[in-house]
Amino acid sequence: MNESSLGRSLVIGIVNNASDRTLVSTESQFTRLLRSASREFDVRFRFFVCPEARRSGHPKTASGEPYRDIGELFSSWVDALIITGIEPQTPQSEDRATNS
């Protein structure tokens, strides 16, 4: 019997708000760390980005799959959620920061 058939799997959602330059390295750091720390579990990941984050294009995971829009998170099942990276900036929040 493998671990998945024993019900020992985890689905971890990662909202990766890292910059385009560090997106894949941030993803890799988290996946390596979590897989090595959870050897008893079959760990799977779902990657999300905020549409407000400035990007040069639609980001892809290290395996080449497109990141999901954070709106899909609410209809997805995850056992744990990690939010990492820079705070997304919207025009409204930038205005508040400069007017404070």
What are 18-60's pLDDT values in tens digits? 888 888 899 999 999 999 988 888 999 999 988 777 788 888 8
**pLDDT at residue 99 tops 60:** no
- In the chain, the number of structural domains is 1
pTM for the predicted model, two decimal places: 0.73
Residues 6 or more apart from 17 whose CB is under 8 A from it?
49, 50, 53, 83, 84, 85, 86, 87, 88
Are the C-beta atoms of residues 34 and 12 closer than 8 Å to each other?
yes
**pLDDT at residue 14 tops 80:** yes
Domain boundaries, position 54: 4-99
| Predicted confidence (pLDDT) per residue in 60-96, tens digit | 888 889 999 999 998 989 999 999 876 655 555 444 4
Looking at residue 88, its pLDDT comes to 54
